[in-house]
Structure 1
Amino acid sequence: MAADRRKLELYENLFKQLGPGDHRITIGSIAEHFQCSERHARTLLNQMETKQWLSWTPLRGRGMKGKLVCLQEPIEACYKEVEQATVEGNYDLAHRLIGFNNRNVASGLKQYLTHATTASEDTIFAPFHRKLSWLHPHHTMERTERHLIHEVFQTLVNFRGTELSGNLAHAWESDDEKINWVFYLRSGVVFHDQSPVTSNEVVESLKALTLSPYWRALYDHIADITSHAANQIQITLKHPDPHLPKLLSRAEASIMPKQFIYRAESHFKPIGSGPFMVDVSSEKLLRLKRNPNFCGQSALVEHIELWIHKEWAEDKKCAENFFFLSNEQVQYTASTSDIGYFFLLINNRALQNSSFQHSLERLFNDQLDSPIPCDRHVDFCFENNNENRWFSRKLVSALKQQNFTATGTQVVYGHPAPKQDLAIGGIRLEGDRTTSLIAFFKLYPYWQANLTWKQQDHLKHTLSAARSEADTSKQKQILDALLTWLHKNHVLTIIKSEDLCLSIPSRIRGVEINSIGWCDFSKLWIKQRIIRSH
């Protein structure tokens, strides 16, 4: 019956918004999800409750939030309806049910038959400690979200370790001056909604970075991005950049359908062309589902699920992430070093002296043996992770003991507060280290406030020299010298390097920890338990 298929579609749409588990919600909000009247929404809830898809406990009074519990996965609800239809011999209905929400019936039937005849583990779980921000490549700043961008979207090229490889582009070339670049796109690539990935989407996605109030400083050497032939992208630079492909491998350079580039969060959908699709996105759960139409190597597991509980934040360190399986006890760890740095930036020129700088260095390394040479109130900002919160508490406590106050403002990564005496934060080494350092220097917004004109000029010319240097070892030397120069001028101090470990159940294989602190989800697989017969 068409009504049964429609109920499945409405239930799945509700489930995708809320996820599994308990939810407090008004009947009005449910009616909005169902796009019907409140009276009809109550009828639908009763029918779905009868089918044991959900439970609904209303509260009396207009606008009161009842308790809604999603009991079944939508596909499981579908399979039970299909089983009932096949028992009754109604195979036409079974086919219609399998195709709910515009699913491919032929493919869906194969999946149903596989489900009906085998039972194997195909989901890897990861606990997470906070609500995830929206997965828009241009607005995502946090480390985990930027990793998820790489799983859902594709960039023109990939950079792993020390190697560049094709992604949406299968080849690229430039002129001898490294100013005119051409990228050749793979043909036949589609987004998760089955729309084609065209050169127009690539051009518009990258052009938006050059117009972005935040990102344009990093992409300010791009003069023009055009496409004059099918599956070809021309990028013209203002200045030479032999390492442009590395820049275009970063998360913000991901390609998306052009209609979503400038959408507000409430109207944005994370539709990419990467190895995983976003199946459920709620405050409690993010579920990624394998993209069967991915143009690269298909993911080895069907689902990756991030389960979210804010109380986990109290014990979460920047330096650790976790995977787990149901009923799995034995674990091992994979680790990496130098994925970033924690820094102290002294913005107030009156505090840019060696005694104050070295005193804070000793404080943050638990080596402070004398009072901090400071006789005034200090305003500072710090990024929102436990390590930086610890630095913040140390600073406030030390100055309080000297009868001075310090006011700290917590900020998200990459968005320091203005008019602060100090900034405590992180430099992330995502992918290529030199590109990441250039990104940090180009994107920090307050150099004009904490550097003299002469120092600003030196910074500008040094970054230009680093960007145009073809030799990677010389490029590294230029940037390391810049870090040393800023330290000697009492502007920037690297407090410590950032390492990371990943805890993994023993049966999860294919883990190669990356510079973002996760690993390539598409390469993960689960070693099945051996079931011994008696």
Structure 2
Amino acid sequence: MRLQNRLNQYQRLYDKIGLDVQAVTVASLAAIFFCSERHTRTLLTQFQESGWISWSSQAGRGKRAQISCLKTPESLRESYLQKLLNEGEHSAALQLTQLDPQHLNSLLAPHLGGQWQEDAPTLRIPYYRPMQVLDPQTLNGRAEQHIAHTLHAGLTRFITGQPTPQPDLAHHWQIRQEGEVWQFFLRSQLYWHNGEPLLTRQLCQLFEKLRHSAHSRHSLENVERISQPHALCLQFNLKKPDYWLAHRLADLSCLLFHPTEPTIGSGPFKLAHFAAERVRLEQHPYYHLQRPYLSAIEYWISPQRYEPKGNDNVSCQHPVQIILGEKSEMGLLRPVKRSTSLGFCYLAVNLQRQHLTPAQAQKIIALIQHSGLLDNLPIDHSLVKRSREMLPGWPLPERNENHARINDVQLPPKLALMFHPPIELKLLADELKVILATHGCELHTSYHPGRLWDSVEQLAEVDLLLGDRLIGEAPVATLENWLRQDLLWPTILDAESLEQQNCRLLEIQQLPSESLREQRLREHFFQLMKQGSITPLFNYQYQVSAPPGVNGVQLTAWGWFDFCQAWLPPPLD
């Protein structure tokens, strides 16, 4: 940018001249600016007209002129920063700044939270790390997944607080032939964010593409054929009845995107700007459902907020607390919503590796549950709550460390454990290493930087896994989907157990009764927990804090808030 270049040139001049009056020649200034004498005179004229310098030249080649700087480079940068921020040019401001992060943070503070920009209500959210590219087929971050559901629509969708799928691009659907044929009736006059009409044939092509993608094929593997019996109708012919289909079509893996650009969708907001320092969402003018109250939402990502790294390169910052405004203004901020996540951090035991027996796995779980480990971790316990059940009404098996059968079990001399973010799992791994050492077992730990497991071969080399499972608005369907999609299960279950699980899932999906499907799935997870394959450890306490004037904040199951419901009152002045 031209302003940045001018300020850099002025910085060179100030470093040599300072605020005192100096006698100089144009040739010596040209050497400072690394440019020709002619361009040097142009720069001096610009600086003088802007009030940055005092400059009085004398006629004649080689004559010395009087020059002094009138402003410090820091004061100039700060004044231009304020101007750019007041105009909403956050990206340009961050490119301009050479301030330390703490100083920059103080400049950003008044511009965060709810703001009216050119008579349009805008919510600016401070964020601590850069975003992944918002392609719904590649996302694993919680914030990015939430944004994807805001940018993209599906045939069905989930509404905050409702566990059953609701109409989205399809206004109704009907089930025929005992669950083997599903017809979805599309709304008329649907549009992509770029203004192009959304066509039924495009959706047919997209679903065919999703059926063969690594990210989505598990959700659609039971689909035998997709057809278009009418201009506004999509038909799914299934190999077997599947009463989870409407749930699957609302999942992240089945969100629908423009055929040529995956970041273009048809959801309530469109992506207007994407950069490392700022992500801006703007209201989709052709949205087919109730339009949001906010005109725009911006994530402001500043250097101070990037994730700090520990010795093991493990993220130390946890995004379960969302601040709509600046932390330094905590006196004005107030918690507007709190909830306990249904998602959980878990321990999984790789029984397929045969380094551990089911009895040994159960002993390790009993040690974790009854040793006080979970209650004494050096973490903020206002953010973490120990799991007492997998889901509400899904109890954990009773285990007693003092039971003779558990106590008499000897653990292997060595075990390997792998964990991924968040930081609480590293702390848990460190404490578990100490506890197992007292039982004659040496625990080797390793860190996987991704939020999802991505290699069966890698997982096959470890005995214990610490992971984090997000749960959406439909918790039962989410757990069913977890069993189908996650690489965890073919790693920790032997071939026979995995085949039995797949058969059981096939039986469950064919039950028309939602309550009966839940009962059967709950029984299956109880058996997995009882044999020691999986156990939930703790849940997070989600919290959103906002300054006065930000209204309508509703927490979603993902721990973010519903962007379509938040609103700002107009400024009284």
Query: CA–CA distance in 2 between the matches of 1:315 and 1:527?
Result: 36
Q: Which residue of 2 aligns with 1:395?
A: 432
Instruction: Indicate how the Cα distance of structure 1 residues 421 and 258 shifts in structure 2: closer, same or farther if over 3 A, else same.
Output: same
Contact 2:344 2:468 (C-alpha < 8 Å) held by counterparts: yes
Q: How do residues 278-427 of structure 1 correspond to structure 2 at under 5 angstroms?
A: 278-308=271-301, 309-311=305-307, 316-317=317-318, 319-324=320-325, 329-347=332-350, 348-351=353-356, 352-353=358-359, 354-362=362-370, 364-366=373-375, 374-399=411-436, 404-416=442-454, 417-419=458-460, 420-427=462-469
SS at match of 2:260: helix
Q: Residues 209, 316 of structure 1: CA spacing in aligned structure 2 closer, same or farther, 3 A cutoff?
A: same
Residue identity opposite 1:502 in structure 2: V
- The Cα shift of 1:455 comes to 2.1
Structure 1 residue identity aligned to 2:446: G
Quick check: which has more Rg, 1 or 2? 2
**Could you tell me how far apart the structure 1 residues matched to 2:486 and 2:88 are?**
49
**Counterpart Cα distance in 2 of 1:205 and 1:147:** 21
Say which SS state the counterpart of residue 221 (structure 2) adopts.
coil
Contact between 1:318 and 1:386, CA under 8 Å: does it hold in 2?
no
8 A Cα contact 1:339 1:517, kept in partner: no
Task: Report the AA paired with residue 259 of structure 1.
Answer: T
Deviations 1:299-343 (A, max 9, x none): 211221112221478664353222227978141231223431221
Whether contact under 8 Å (1:184, 1:232) holds in the other structure is yes
Q: Is the 8 A contact 1:339 1:500 kept in 2?
A: no
Q: What do residues 505-525 of structure 1 show as CA deviations (whole Å, max 9, x unaligned)? A: 232111221111112212210
- Distance in 2 (CA, whole Å) between partners of 1:212 and 1:388 is 31
Q: Percent identity?
A: 19
1:134 matched to 2:133: yes
1:243–1:470 CA contact under 8 A, matched in 2: no
CA contact (8 A) 2:341 2:559 kept: no
**TM-fit CA distance, 1:186:** 1.6
Alignment of 1:136-175 (within 5 A): 136-160=135-159, 161-175=162-176
| Aligned-residue offset at 1:145 | 1.0
Where does 1:56-75 land on structure 2 (aligned, <5 Å)? 72=84
Q: What is the identity, as a one-letter code, of the residue corresponding to 1:135?
A: L
Q: What is the CA distance between 1:157 and its match in structure 2?
A: 1.3
Structure 1 residue runs of 5 or longer lacking an equivalent are: 1-10, 15-21, 23-38, 51-66, 78-116, 261-268
Answering whether residue 555 of structure 2 is matched by residue 513 of structure 1, we say yes
2-side partners of 1:281 and 1:486: how far apart? 43
**1:72 Cα deviation after fit:** 4.0
TM-score, reference length from structure 1: 0.71
2:226 counterpart SS class = strand
Distance 1:437 1:513 in 2: 20
Deviations 1:413-449 (A, max 9, x none): 3325422211211222212112101111111225344
Counterparts of 2:518 and 2:465 in 1: how far apart (Å)? 25
Equivalent residue runs for 1:470-489 within 5 Å = 470-489=512-531
Q: Give the SS at the match of 1:508.
A: coil
Question: In the aligned structure 1, how far is the partner of 2:367 from the partner of 2:498?
Answer: 26
Give 3-state SS (helix, strand or coil) of 1:190's partner: coil
Is contact 2:554–2:566 with CA below 8 Å preserved after alignment? no
Q: Distance in 2 between matches of 1:312 and 1:124?
A: 26
Of the candidates 496, 507, 510, which is equivalent to residue 468 of structure 1? Answer: 510
Partner of 1:434: 476
Following superposition, the deviation at residue 176 of structure 1 comes to 4.0
How far residue 192 of structure 1 moved from its aligned partner, in angstroms, is 1.4
Secondary structure of 1:335's counterpart equals strand
Sort the Cα spacing of 1:178 and 1:120 in 2 relative to 1 into closer, same or farther, 3 A: same
Verify the 8 A CA contact 1:318 1:385 in the aligned structure 2. no
Q: Secondary structure at the match of 2:468?
A: strand
Match of 2:264 among 247, 256, 271: 271
RMSD: 3.7
* 8 Å Cα contact 2:227-2:236 kept in structure 1: yes
Distance of aligned partners of 1:452 and 1:325 in 2 relative to their CA distance in 1, 3 Å threshold: closer
Letter aligned with residue 425 of structure 2: N
Moved more, 411-420 or 506-515: 411-420
Alpha-carbon distance between aligned partners in 1 of 2:253 and 2:496, rounded to the nearest angstrom: 32
- Note if contact 1:257-1:272 (Cα within 8 Å) is conserved in structure 2: yes
Q: Structure 2: where are the runs of 5+ without partners?
A: 3-7, 9-34, 47-76, 90-115, 310-314, 377-400
| SS of alignment partner, residue 350 of structure 1 | coil
Aligned length: 429
The corresponding residue for 2:182 is 181
Assess, with a 3 A threshold, how the Cα gap between structure 1 residues 358 and 511 changes in structure 2: closer, same or farther: same
Deviations 1:47-97 (A, max 9, x none): 9xx8xxxxxxxxxxxxxxxx9x997489879xxxxxxxxxxxxxxxxxxxx
- Mapped contact 1:227–1:234 kept (Cα < 8 A): yes
Q: CA deviation at 1:403?
A: 7.6
